[in-house]
Amino acid sequence: MPFLCHYRRASQITDNGPYAEIARFLSGHRFGVEAAMETLSYVDGVNFAARATSPAWFSVGLMDRICPSSTVFAAHHRSAGRVRHLIRRRGQRPSTAIAALCPGIPLTPPPRTAPAPHSSTLACAVSTPQRPVPACA
């Protein structure tokens, strides 16, 4: 789900999340709206989506007040790569929606195994030496 996209639109339709901070800033700097929006465009996900060339999944919750759906669609429409999208119903978890769309994708991660000890770990540092150390006289 693309987050922090299309700042101007998001700050107009929601007062939740980071967009409330933009509104608070602009309330004290009324003549700096265009300058602030131009600065935010440097980190806007919509502009990054236009540069993407790899395939991407876009997930959107239509009732999401933190990441409004119109901002996700803005990034979706600007994406240069191959795009698949996923629209979730109200209250539906993303994993459930993906499972319905792609039944062959496992949703549980593989079991974790303990990593092999490295020379800097305590287990290797306290191991017994291979040959006896000569005693000091």
**Which pLDDT band holds residue 54 (cuts at 50, 70, 90)?**
confident
72 near 56, Cβ under 8 Å? no
Span 68-102, pLDDT tens digits: 888 888 888 888 877 776 666 666 565 555 555 55
Each domain of the chain, given as residue ranges in start order, spans 7-93
> Is it the case that residue 126 has pLDDT exceeding 70?
no
> Is it the case that residue 21 has pLDDT exceeding 80?
yes
3-state secondary structure 52-119: CCCCEEEEEECCCCCCCHHHHHHHHHHCCCCEEEEEECCCCCHHHHHHHHCCCCCCCCCCCCCCCCCC
